[in-house]
């Protein structure tokens, strides 16, 4: 018999009815004789509420206590889920991160898992007990509760699947799999049966919200097969109705572009007439890095006149802070003008087939040209191409590209 980790996200445990429904899926797997660990998120909206409470005390607060508060949502659902399983006559108990222990570094609010001592957890699962684990939380070396960043329960689930050497990690969510693009943007998007780790990682980091990026990294590193599936159908994971995220070799479909992601999280900053001398980029990006600001796309224009323009994107949340930093560094950077634009979108094509197929980028630019969409910046990786465009064209661009690359459902 197999060992599965089943993870239920916030919408899947939104209220008592949903928790009971999730418990019925766990029960169905247990009935087939499988050993099971369940990982739960907080009820939808609860984590946001907790963050709001913390900010209500003060927008600037101690992050150790922040995690003590914010991690509680998962404790509630773990207890309720264990009860719901017991109600069905199953042997189940809840586990908080510290009880396992799931050890992390002490980077509160975005802690990384350092070790999972799964010995006692595994023993009890082997004896037939269903382990219901609070996702998102861990414990640091100094015995403080930590949390793994928004969406972190995905990472908890995959990490536990690796530690328990589970046969598969099923992620139950409100969509029934990974789609070629966001089905809310085009009804022609279709569900992928399989997708490689690399493609999923790229899609997740470029804006697809199905899985937390770190969970995909973790799955890839440990070779955990992850399945994304819907809680709102009758199917269960053993029936393979979702999308399987797995090794490249086993993804069968040969395609150049697998999916299209978009992100509206970015804001664009342009520095005009920056001195074109060594060290200037280091001053700009060094100052932003010291403030913990992540920079995404960077474009520098060529310079004949001795000055150049530098354009880059940061997260929208970091825009005001970035502008403030750049203003205070102005004497050193010596630009003439500082521009900011929040209304931008990054549209990305992802596909393993890009490695060996020329012309993918050209087709993307032609498609944008046909729709008269101006490209503000371009970025490529081995298996992706992204363009920065005005936010108002997001849907138009995604739909046009979806058709252009033959992804429309027939």
**Residue with smaller CB distance to ligand ASP, 161 or 400:** 161
- With 0-12 / 13-18 / 19 or more C-beta atoms within 10 angstroms meaning exposed / middle / buried, residue 198 is buried
- Residue 281 C-beta: closest distance to Mg ion, Å: 36
Interface stretch with ligand ASP, choices 27-35, 41-49, 59-67, 361-369 (CB under 6 A): 41-49
Position among 27, 37, 47, 257 found at the interface with ligand ASP (CB under 6 A): 47
Q: Which is nearer to Mg ion, 11 or 256 (CB)?
A: 11
DSSP string, 341-375: E--EEEEEEE-GGGGG-TTHHHHHHHHHHHTTPPP
Q: Give 97 or 177: the residue with its C-beta nearer to ligand ASP.
A: 97
Q: Do the Cβ atoms of 115 and 50 come closer than 8 Å? A: no
137 binds ligand ASP (CB under 6 A): no
By CB under 6 A, is residue 10 in contact with ligand ASP?
yes
* CA dist., res. 290 & res. 271, Å (int): 19
- Residues numbered 148-207 forming contacts with ligand ASP, rule: CB under 6 A: 150-154
Residue of 12, 73, 113, 176 interacting with ligand ASP (CB under 6 A): 73
Q: How far is the CB of 74 from ligand ASP (least distance, A)?
A: 6
136 contacts ligand ASP (rule: CB under 6 A): yes
Percentage helix, strand, coil for the chain under 3-state DSSP, each rounded to 5: 40, 25, 35
CA distances from 363 to 196, 356, 360, 402 (A): 23, 15, 5, 12
Q: Which does 348 bind (CB under 5 to 8 A by kind): ligand ASP, Mg ion, none?
A: none
Calculate Rg over the CA atoms of the chain. Answer: 23
- Give which of Mg ion, ligand ASP, none residue 259 binds (C-beta under 5 to 8 Å, depending on kind): none
Spatial neighbors of 257 by CB under 8 A, at least 6 apart, are: 349, 350, 351, 353, 354, 360, 405, 407
Instruction: Please tell me the distance from the alpha carbon of residue 134 to that of residue 77, in angstroms, as a whole number.
Output: 7
**Residue 150 binding partner per list ligand ASP, Mg ion, none, with a CB distance cut-off of 5 to 8 Å that depends on partner kind:** ligand ASP
Q: Binding of Mg ion at residue 152 (CB under 5 A)?
A: no
Give the one entry of Mg ion, ligand ASP, none that residue 67 binds, where binding means its C-beta sits below a cut-off of 5 to 8 angstroms depending on kind. Answer: none
Q: What is the binding site for ligand ASP (CB under 6 A)?
A: 9-10, 41-42, 47, 73, 135-136, 150-154
């Amino acid at each position: 018999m197999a060992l599965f980790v089943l993870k239920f996200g916030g919408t899947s445990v939104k209220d008592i009815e949903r928790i009971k429904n999730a418990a019925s899926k766990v029960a169905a797997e247990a009935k087939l004789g499988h050993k099971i660990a369940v990982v739960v998120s907080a009820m939808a909206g609860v984590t946001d509420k907790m963050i709001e409470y913390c900010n209500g005390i003060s927008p600037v607060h101690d992050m150790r206590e922040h995690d003590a508060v914010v991690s509680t949502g998962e404790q509630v659902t773990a207890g309720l889920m264990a009860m719901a399983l017991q109600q069905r006559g199953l042997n189940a108990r809840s586990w908080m991160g510290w009880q396992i222990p799931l050890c992390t570094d002490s980077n509160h609010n975005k802690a990384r898992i350092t070790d999972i001592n799964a010995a006692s957890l595994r023993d009890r699962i082997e004896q037939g007990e269903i382990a219901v684990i609070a996702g998102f939380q861990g414990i640091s070396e100094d015995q403080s509760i930590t949390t793994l960043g928004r969406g972190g329960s995905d990472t908890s689930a995959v990490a536990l699947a690796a530690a328990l050497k589970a046969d598969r990690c099923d992620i139950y969510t409100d969509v029934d799999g990974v789609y070629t693009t966001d089905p809310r943007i085009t009804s022609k998007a279709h569900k992928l049966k399989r997708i490689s780790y690399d493609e999923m990682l790229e899609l997740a980091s470029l804006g697809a919200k199905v899985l937390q990026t770190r969970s995909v990294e973790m799955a890839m590193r440990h070779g955990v097969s992850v399945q994304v599936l819907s809680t709102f159908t009758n199917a269960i994971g053993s029936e393979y109705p979702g999308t399987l995220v797995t090794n490249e070799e086993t993804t069968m479909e040969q395609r150049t572009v697998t999916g299209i992601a978009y992100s509206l999280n970015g804001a664009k900053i342009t520095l005009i007439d920056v001195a074109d001398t060594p060290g200037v980029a280091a001053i700009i990006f060094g100052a932003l890095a010291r403030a913990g600001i992540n920079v995404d796309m960077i474009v520098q224009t060529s310079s004949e006149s001795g000055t150049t323009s530098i354009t880059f994107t940061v997260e929208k949340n970091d825009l005001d802070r970035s502008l403030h930093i750049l203003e205070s560094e102005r004497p050193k950077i010596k630009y003439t003008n500082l521009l900011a634009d929040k209304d931008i979108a990054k549209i990305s094509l992802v596909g393993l087939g890009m490695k060996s197929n020329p012309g993918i980028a050209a087709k993307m630019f032609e498609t944008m040209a046909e729709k008269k969409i101006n490209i503000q910046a371009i970025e490529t990786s081995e298996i992706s191409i992204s363009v920065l465009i005005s936010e108002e064209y997001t849907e138009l661009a995604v739909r046009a590209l979806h058709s252009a690359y033959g992804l429309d459902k027939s």
